[in-house]
Amino acid sequence: MRSVSIVSCARPRACIAELAAKRNKVPTPAQTRALTSFTWKQDDDSLDNDLHDRPLALPSLRNPMVELAGTVAVPFVSSNDITAYTVFESGTGMVSSCAFGTRYPARGPIKFDGFSLV
């Protein structure tokens, strides 16, 4: 793994050219073994039920994976091109979850779930 330090660059295009290519596939177990003792296998994850028999909770308003990634409706965000974040409004007690598709920044974020703590 290459360490990266943030420095001022007189030639920004040259600095950008030195960046590593974007990862676009799941790392192999051999690639992750040196970084952690945990080994994740995509085949172990189920798309239609929970391994501990908990009911799936899909987003209540919209599904960001369907709208922003073009996949089937799943109860999680699994994309390097989608940023998900949660906003807590202390005055109203509302918790809102939003997603932003970084490939299409002009679209703006979408609110995909929300509930009240009060």
| Structural domains of the chain, count | 1
Give the Å distances, CA to CA, from 36 to 30, 32, 41, 46, 103: 11, 6, 14, 23, 30
Report how far residue 64's alpha carbon sits from residue 81's, in angstroms, rounded to the nearest whole number.
Answer: 11
Q: What is the pLDDT of residues 54-89, one digit of tens each?
A: 777 788 899 998 888 888 888 888 888 999 999 999
Q: What is the pLDDT of residues 46-62, one digit of tens each?
A: 666 666 777 777 888 99
> Which pLDDT does position 40 carry in this prediction?
60
* CA-derived radius of gyration, the chain: 19
Report how far residue 84's alpha carbon sits from residue 113's, in angstroms, rounded to the nearest whole number.
Answer: 11
Give strand pairing partners of 58.
none
Query: Is residue 27 a part of any domain in this protein?
Result: no
Mean pLDDT of the chain: 76
Query: Is residue 26 a part of any domain in this protein?
Result: no
Query: Is residue 15 a part of any domain in this protein?
Result: no
CB 44 within 8 A of CB 52: no
Query: Is residue 61 a part of any domain in this protein?
Result: yes
Query: Is residue 1 a part of any domain in this protein?
Result: no
Share of the chain above pLDDT 90, in %: 26
Give strand pairing partners of 86.
97
Greatest mean pLDDT range, 3-7, 48-52, 102-106: 102-106
Cα 72 from chain centroid (whole Å): 16
- Domain span at 74: 56-116
Query: Is residue 78 a part of any domain in this protein?
Result: yes
Query: Is residue 74 a part of any domain in this protein?
Result: yes
Query: Is residue 102 a part of any domain in this protein?
Result: yes
